[in-house]
Amino acid sequence: MNDSEAAQQAPAEGEVGLVESQDFVSNEPFQFESGGTIPELSLRYETYGHLNAAKDNAILICHALSGNHHCAGVHSMDERKPGWWNFVIGPGKPIDTSRYFVICSNALGGCSGSSGPYSINPKTGQRYRLDFPKLTVRDMVKAQSLLVDSLGIDCLHAVLGGSMGGMQTLQWAIDFPNRVGRYIAMACCARHNAQAIAFNDTGRQAIVRDPVWDNGNYDPDSPPGHGLSVARMMAHITYLSDAGMEAKFGRKRRSVEPGAEHFDVEFEVESYLRYQGQSFVGRFDANTYLYLTKALDRFDLHSPVSLDDTLAAVTAPGLVVGFTSDWLYPPQGNREVAEALLRLGKDATYAELEMDFGHDSFLVRSPELYNLIRTFLDR
């Protein structure tokens, strides 16, 4: 059974099913950490489950770099793929929507409907492009907090996320200690190491050296696809692992058509990555990619004060999860956060999962991870 056949069936029990995105709009100017402002803030988001009367059962999910607010269910019965964390979120699932009210917003700066370089500046009627203010993870969290305000929620039962979502999660626990009941930061770090910055910048260079990019002034209908797809292909490799790629592709070959050129697709892995790069161009904005990767490179819990001093603000119990095969945000970077929390006498737990799927392990079906998330959320 392929994906399209699966989607044609009615949502089975345990699925959130059909969902609709909503828009949160604040007409107040939004000020960024860098000092820049935008005249109004818009965040696209989805919710699943029901907010209880006490408004204390809300869970905020923070998505990763290329993710968005659509993390569970389908928008229409024809949708090929449900939201990116569908197997974790739903009635009876690890994040149980029969108990919890789940919120996920497209991050500030994102290109799936929230204010960002790709969105229209209401003052000019044009896309912000590079006029969008310099963006930080802290800005993303501040914007989310306004959304949470608008839903009438004082304290979230939990905040969780992986990768960029893990960084947002940590920032939530630091900036809004009284509003976070508990948190789970997965495949994250206190700051990028040189390797992570190097990969991000190589991706950015692929984009800005694509002549179509034109200082960010490209036509959205014909974006700098060469640059963006190469950036995505390279980044995608960093989300996998050697063992994972070997198991999935090895040296498997495509059937080569007669007359194929020397450098046309020959191996399965080439075909897979080219497809990943190409499909990314269709769903992601190049300027947004520049902004978000830069926000991640600049994220640094060791600055302006030490990591321990930064984390001293945290009060909620936390769970940090590293993955053995993650070489982008390796286990030691996750451990570093947990160790600092424990030095500070915080209620913190570190767990490390042995999975072959690299950085993207948190997006992969894993009974151990599910069990861990469910147990921590319910305790």
Query: Which residues are annotated as catalytic?
Result: 163, 326, 359
Cα-based angle 180, 43, 214 (whole degrees, multiple of 5):
125
In the list 319, 328, 337, 363, the residue contacting another protein (rule: CB under 8 A) is 319
Q: Answer yes or no whether residue 270 interacts with another protein by CB under 8 A.
A: no
Q: Answer yes or no whether residue 371 interacts with another protein by CB under 8 A.
A: yes
Considering the complex, state which of residue 226 and residue 374 has its C-beta at the smaller distance from another protein. Answer: 374
Q: Answer yes or no whether residue 324 interacts with another protein by CB under 8 A.
A: no
Cβ 211 to another protein, closest distance in Å? 49
- Kindly state the DSSP code that residue 10 receives in the 8-state scheme: P
Residue 228 near residue 207, CB atoms below 8 Å: yes
Cβ 373 to another protein, closest distance in Å? 10
Burial 176-211 (b: 16+ CB within 10 A, else e): beebbbbbbbbbbbbbbeeebbebbeebbebbbebe
Considering the complex, state which of residue 233 and residue 372 has its C-beta at the smaller distance from another protein. Answer: 372
Q: Which of residues 346-365 bind another protein (CB under 8 A)?
A: 346-354
Sign of CA dihedral 47, 363, 237, 295: positive
Residue 61 near residue 88, CB atoms below 8 Å: no
In the list 208, 274, 335, 364, the residue contacting another protein (rule: CB under 8 A) is 335
Considering the complex, state which of residue 264 and residue 354 has its C-beta at the smaller distance from another protein. Answer: 354
- Report CA dihedral (93, 89, 360, 174) to the nearest 10 degrees: -110
Considering the complex, state which of residue 295 and residue 353 has its C-beta at the smaller distance from another protein. Answer: 353
Dump the DSSP string for 80-102.
SS--TTTTTEETTSSEETTT-EE
- The radius of gyration of the chain from alpha carbons, rounded to an integer in Å, stands at 20
Cβ 348 to another protein, closest distance in Å? 6
Stretch that binds another protein, among 112-120, 141-149, 196-204, 335-343 (CB under 8 A): 335-343
Nearest-angstrom CA–CA distance, 360 and 324? 11
Residue 59 near residue 47, CB atoms below 8 Å: no
Q: Which of residues 130-149 bind another protein (CB under 8 A)?
A: none
Q: Answer yes or no whether residue 367 interacts with another protein by CB under 8 A.
A: no
Nearest-angstrom CA–CA distance, 326 and 341? 21
Q: Tell me the two tokens of residue 139.
A: 């800005």
Dump the DSSP string for 253-291.
BPPPPTT--TTS--BHHHHHHHHHHHHHHHH--HHHHHH
Q: Answer yes or no whether residue 172 interacts with another protein by CB under 8 A.
A: no
Cβ 226 to another protein, closest distance in Å? 43
In the list 133, 317, 333, 358, the residue contacting another protein (rule: CB under 8 A) is 317
Considering the complex, state which of residue 291 and residue 376 has its C-beta at the smaller distance from another protein. Answer: 376
Number of residues located near another protein, criterion CB under 8 A: 23
Residue 316 near residue 348, CB atoms below 8 Å: no
Q: Answer yes or no whether residue 376 interacts with another protein by CB under 8 A.
A: yes
Considering the complex, state which of residue 36 and residue 181 has its C-beta at the smaller distance from another protein. Answer: 181
Q: Answer yes or no whether residue 268 interacts with another protein by CB under 8 A.
A: no
Amino acid residing at 132: F
Cβ 239 to another protein, closest distance in Å? 22
User: Footprint of another protein on this chain (CB under 8 A)?
Assistant: 317, 319, 335, 338-339, 342-343, 345-354, 368, 371-372, 375-376, 379
